[in-house]
Chains A and B, each alone.
Chain A
Amino acid sequence: MSRQLLLEHINTPGIRGIKAFREKGGYSALEKALKTMKPDEVTEEVKKSGLRGRGGAGFPTGMKWSFLAKPDGVPRYLVCNADESEPGTFKDRYLMSHIPHSLVEGMIVSSYALGANTAYIYIRGEMLYVYHILEEAIAEAYEAGFLGKNILGTGYSLDLYVHPGGGAYICGEETALLESLEGKRGNPRIKPPFPAVKGLWQSPTVVNNVETIAAVPHIINMSGDEYAKIGIGKSTGTKLISACGHINKPGVYEIELGVPVEEFIYSDKYCGGIRNGKKLKAVVAGGSSVPILPGEMILKTPTGEPRLMSYESLSEGGFAGGTMLGSGGFIVMDEDTSIVKNLWNFTRFYHHESCGQCSPCREGTGWMEKILHKFMDGHATLKDIDLLWDIQSKIEGKTICPLGDAAAWPVASAIRHFRSEFEDYVRNPEKIKDIKHYYRLNNLQPVS
């Protein structure tokens, strides 16, 4: 097993409670930061660590923090994005439900660094039981004097709230999340202004992913420089990967960034190879939104090097030949998987989750789903492949928020790498004879 930070004590009995957590060194970073460091020094350590946003975009966290506007007399906020809803991603839920205090401690240290006196954890509405776990952890932290007024006598005060969402994927987009947190409809905001200038309640706000925030105490404990030594190149530290699909050992793995993809899929330390000895067909490496890659392309970069689990290596080759680390939702597909059917499923998701604000996304996601439905029905023509391509190209990069991109990329990459399979659906409709069964199973109606 490589270096474990976030999940090191995952198997410790009672680690969900504050007692066991503290016995394993929990809240030491809080004491260190609040008692011995200035807020800017905390930010400086995070900068040095090279920590990058774990929600998907991979933006350097320290830099994001340093962009936070600090006008006089205006409060600042830290908001934790715990609205984890990307298909194939379940690492935050795992971390929060097992070691909730790692997030709570991270929130306190990060809020201290940012000068925020109020912080929020915006949690996905469906994760109600995790919400209760966090509530309990926060209550324990208040009781221990880690939250509230004058924390540990340092004069620093922080109130931390958990806010459950209403069950919309779009609220994982940071500005939609802020709208929702303010009690409004979760529509993404136009940018600029960015949240760092005008975020929650029109005040400077930092929005970070659960895993990002949970990493901060480790950085404080071990120093930014030490943290930066883990991983490879600009992909420093450890990363939680939610592995799922046709593998022998699905689950959440903490990896040191830089592990070869091949090792990750086939090693017994991680996924343990493809189920039933089948061949690898394709991988969606970072949650449903990132481009799908055929097996051979995920294992080797376009230059023939072994591909590594890192921000840089996975995106090597651009969109034509690479993908993204994204949120670390690692979906493995074996040789029997229908890429078209899988894509249709993804497209249904984005159609359902588009907020409806931008016309290309609102209408386009619907039409992509309908056209894919035609493929499933056996009514599609070859022209429909081009039409699908055309629609996705008019959504990608043309919308207020990245949901449009997220909806377009899977379509683009599936056509790019598996066009023949689409053609197959047109030419050999008998291939889809199982579709009626699929309809029944999912309570769906064929397109009229």
Chain B
Amino acid sequence: MENTSIKVAYINDQPYQIQDGDTILKLVRRNFGHDFVPTLCDAPNLDPFGACRVCSVDVALVQGGPAKAQASCHTPVMANSYIYTDSTRIKRLRKNIIELVLTDHPLDCLTCEVNNNCELQTVAAKVGVRDVRYPEGKNHLDRKKDLSHPYMTSDLSKCINCGRCVRACDEVQGEFVLSMAGRGFDSHIIKSYNDSFFESDCVSCGACAQACPTSAISDVFESKSIAVDKKVRTICTYCGVGCNLEVAVAENKVKSIQAPYDADVNTGHTCLKGRFAFSFYNHPDRLKTPLIKRNGVFEPATWDEAYDHIANELNRIKATHGPDAIGGISSARCTNEENYLMQKFIRAVIGTNNIDSCARVCHSPTALGMQRTFGTGAATNSIIDLKYTDCILVIGANPTDAHPVTGAKLKQFAMKGTAIVIDPRRTEMARYAKHHLQLKPGTNVALLNMMLYYIITEKLEDTSFIESRTEGYQEFKNHILSLDIANLEKVTGVDRMQVKAAAIDYASARNAMSFHGLGVTEHSQGTYTVMLIADLAMITGNIGRRGVGVNPLRGQNNVQGAADMGCQPHQGAGYLDSYDPEINKMYSDFYKVKVPFSKGMKIPEMYDASIAGKLKALWLMGEDNVQTDPNTQHVMKAMSNLDLLVVQELFMTETAKMAHVILPASSFLEKSGTFTNGERRIQKVQAVVPPIPGTKPDGQIMVEIMNKMGYAQAPYDPDTMLEEISKIVPFFAGVKWSELGDNGKQWPVLPDGSDTEILHVESFKRGKGKFQVATWKESEEIVNHGAEFPYILTTNRELEHYNCGAMTRRTGNVEILTDDVLLIHPADAAKHLINDGEMVCVISARGKIDVKAKISDQVKEGVLSSTFHFPDVRMNDLTSSVSDSEAMCPEYKVVAVNIRKSKGKYKNPELAATQNAV
């Protein structure tokens, strides 16, 4: 009698099985489809609200018995109840509600943006309203449109007070900008304190526009209009969150972007970069023809001329200086297939291991640190695990700016649960966190050691996990207990009791998850910090199940993939040791050509080698190293010393200006392939529009040059490329283009195609987890220059811009955030007589720059913070060449500087802005 536990309810007198947590609407939708019962205030990614009442159904306790109208969206299903979805009185009720709503709605459907895609229109048609019986009277049709914002628009005369925008702002983004003001008939949506969109605190994520069932809130791209030819699903090119996008195309141009509700990663949400900042793709600045520099001037060339020129030069250099005089830097912005081809080109065609990628300057310490402790340099868990965790630890990451969609989820969590933030800046996350440990930049290792100390002294370690799953604990424990806490407290500048309280919360949570970003890795002790984060997870047993783990927040869309594909000197595709003879043989067999065995150079080593005259040629795939790599003067010197610099680019970046050959590449909207996001999810990038005339996808360029140089490589297409990759990268074994589906697969993907959400469940990749010891050491930057340059400058990101800004500066985002600013504590500003908005001269041992001051208590005294989104500020003139001792990731986060009020010789910022626009 297993049927006794099955509960049923009757919909229109037919029995249907109830599941736990079912509302009436859920039950009806599961059995009759999404639109069977009309709704207005319900949205797929919002909690039930029950305000429009259009979803009302009749509920009776006995068949045909006396019924009560219930809003189906929020009413739990009662077992054995009789639900009537379309009784005459329910139909009349729905009709009456719509009729009432229409009394205060402009009936200008024919000229409305959402004509034929309007939920009100659809429901009105469905319930059959023909005329409105109510007399004329006061209404809100004269409300003014708000067109103040570069992206967001509102026309509240069309508002039906369903509250979806307000709830999207609260529940999805967590920004609380939109709210309902006034009461009853006068209730209306306001932004912040009844401001315009532009003046409000809106972060332009567009969640409200997507949520709005009419066009009361929309965007300048009219993303809800149906005047489009097709919609293509692809993956966002900005950060490592990997949001799915639904791109609307009209006349072969991108018209607008929305977020699919069925996306596992972003469930109907994106940030302003993903949703709105796409207009760079057909910006007039796009490079549209190959350029060869002759006598210091770029001259347009055909593709064949460019390839010939490159091939000749490379062959010449290879012949005279050997293959190791050539290097390649791949891009984490490009697809897996393109990265694979790039490293294959450098290794198999050129014959050197001088291949690196921009992962070097962001998450290389993560890969190394996690490989040393766990055996795999990738996030152990998935973002969805936030639903199962009790405590989050966010270290050196500013996710609400840098990973906005994951950031919004973390923020939502912090508002309800226990969040610990370790960051020198009081970031938005820190404001919501229970513990904010505001340490001095460069002291992560000291602070984490303090946390570990208290976990051990408070006896909160998970002994059974330590015994069964790890090794090296005793030695580790002895080391931690030998530390001088008083000294560490002084070093970090964080009260030990505060650290202790945070440590206790982390260690005693049932499930605790850690997230880290570049504030961990871009330090001279980056790899050590990552290892300590791994130690924290192991000592508390927070590994191998839902809601736990160590989760790096990947900066670029495909940092994970670039490393997976072998774009680093010491590891080939699939992280196999390129210096191991057996593996070398395997690669040689697979590529059908002898691959090199010699030690390759990492990015900073390449610069040094170039300056020393040992590196003669460098190939850059979509990277602006001059603006983004630290110590600009050093980088420029290295670039200018090369015989051949080839750059594949969208725009004439600072680096492209120094190239000998520029190959115009296509953007993510114009090509297909796969990106792997921060949670190891391989997702399909699908060409939305054909490449801009004159440009080629990076993968195609790689294939063409390989063939040009005598290596037979099949034409670029993601299907066959993935097939090749799946044969050499072990954790891609079961990856097939045709089987990736809408939401991709998380590696390792087994040969049978099944994927993996959580790593290290039974055992670690390396067998037992290894506790690694780390001792705090002052950065050389401070040791060498600290006395002369007493301030510490740390670099960060802003929501509106992405890295060097080559893309976002060519979109409306630049109207929202117009320049880089220097965050400075009020006391420091007072000391130097600097007012808010005045120019400050920042001087380091490498150079000096002028930047606008923003007085803020987000930073502590003695700490400054700024961004490098705008080339005219040249922030990286200041940063140092000090890098992580293990992974060689540059130390962007600790720069010894001094400040003074600018003397007025700086570029006029307004003038600079106009120049920029030209």
Contact = CB atoms under 8 A, between A and B. Distances in A.
A354 B161 contact: no
Contacts of B101: 359, 363
Contact of A359 (B74, B134, B160): B160
A359 B52 contact: yes
Interface stretch (A20-28, A285-293, A386-394): A386-394
Interface string B157-189: 000110100000000000000011011111100
A359 to B, nearest CB: 5
Interface stretch (A123-131, A320-328, A364-372, A409-417): A364-372
Nearest to B89: A393
B549 to A, nearest CB: 27
B53 A359 contact: yes
Given A391-B96, A398-B56, A357 B163 contact: yes
Interface in B127-151: 133-138
Nearest to B166: A185
B100 A367 contact: yes
A394 B163 CA distance: 21
B60 to A, nearest CB: 14
A366 B97 contact: no
A358 B96 contact: no
A170 B180 CA distance: 15
A353 B96 contact: no
A359 B100 contact: yes
Contact of B96 (A356, A360, A374): A360
Interface in B107-133: 133
Interface residues on B, range: 35 or more
Interface in A378-404: 387, 390-391, 394, 397-400
B544 interface: no
Nearest to A352: B184
A190 B74 contact: yes
B133 A387 contact: yes
B390 to A, nearest CB: 14
Interface string B29-53: 0000000000010000000111111
19 contacts: A168-B183, A187-B180, A190-B50, A190-B74, A352-B183, A353-B183, A356-B180, A356-B183, A357-B51, A358-B52, A360-B53, A362-B161, A362-B184, A363-B103, A366-B138, A371-B135, A390-B96, A398-B53, A398-B56
Given A358-B52, A398-B53, A363 B104 contact: yes
Interface string A269-300: 00000000000000000000000000000000
Contacts of B134: 367, 370-371, 387
A190 B50 CA distance: 7
B93 A358 contact: no
Contacts of A13: none
Contact of A356 (B69, B74, B161): B161
Given A359-B51, A362-B184, 19 more contacts: A170-B183, A190-B49, A190-B50, A192-B76, A353-B183, A354-B184, A358-B51, A359-B40, A359-B97, A359-B100, A359-B101, A359-B160, A362-B185, A362-B187, A363-B101, A394-B93, A398-B53, A398-B69, A398-B93
A353 B184 contact: yes
B92 interface: yes
A400 B104 CA distance: 21
A101 interface: no
Contacts of A170: 183
Contact of A363 (B50, B76, B100, B179): B100
A353 B163 CA distance: 18
Interface string A400-434: 10000000000000000000000000000000000
Interface residues of A, number: 36
A365 to B, nearest CB: 7
Q: Which of A352, A357, A387 has the largest count of B CB atoms less than 10 A from its CB?
A: A357
Contacts of B230: none
B431 interface: no
B50 A366 contact: no
A447 interface: yes
Contact of B50 (A351, A354, A400): A400
B490 interface: no
Interface of B: 40, 48-54, 56, 68-69, 71, 74, 76, 92-93, 96-97, 100-101, 103-104, 133-138, 160-161, 163, 179-180, 182-187
Contacts of B136: 448
Nearest to B133: A387
A355 interface: yes
Given A356-B161, A358-B52, A400-B50, A370 B137 contact: yes
Nearest to B186: A356
Given A190-B48, A358-B52, A399-B53, A363 B185 contact: yes
Nearest to B73: A190
A356 B184 contact: yes
Contact of B184 (A190, A366, A400): A366
Contacts of A387: 133-134
Contacts of B186: 356
A356 B133 CA distance: 21
Nearest to A186: B183
Contacts of B187: 355-357, 362
Nearest to B180: A185
A351 B100 contact: no
Contacts of A187: 180
B162 to A, nearest CB: 8
A394 B97 contact: yes
Contacts of B52: 358-359
Given A185-B179, A398-B56, A356 B135 contact: no
B73 to A, nearest CB: 9
What 4 A-B pairs come out closest when comparing CB atoms?
A: A356-B187, A363-B100, A354-B184, A394-B96
A356 B184 CA distance: 4
Contacts of B49: 190
A186 to B, nearest CB: 9
Contact of B69 (A185, A354, A391, A397): A397
B745 to A, nearest CB: 38
Given A359-B53, A400-B50, A351 B185 contact: yes
Interface in A171-208: 185, 187, 190, 192
Contacts of A356: 161, 180, 182-187
Contacts of B185: 351, 354, 356, 362-363, 365-366
Nearest to B54: A359
A406 B140 CA distance: 26
B45 to A, nearest CB: 18
A371 B161 CA distance: 22
Contacts of A354: 183-185
Contacts of A358: 50-53
B84 to A, nearest CB: 15
Contacts of A359: 40, 51-54, 97, 100-101, 160-161
A367 B103 contact: yes
Interface string A322-366: 000000000000000000000000000001111111111111111
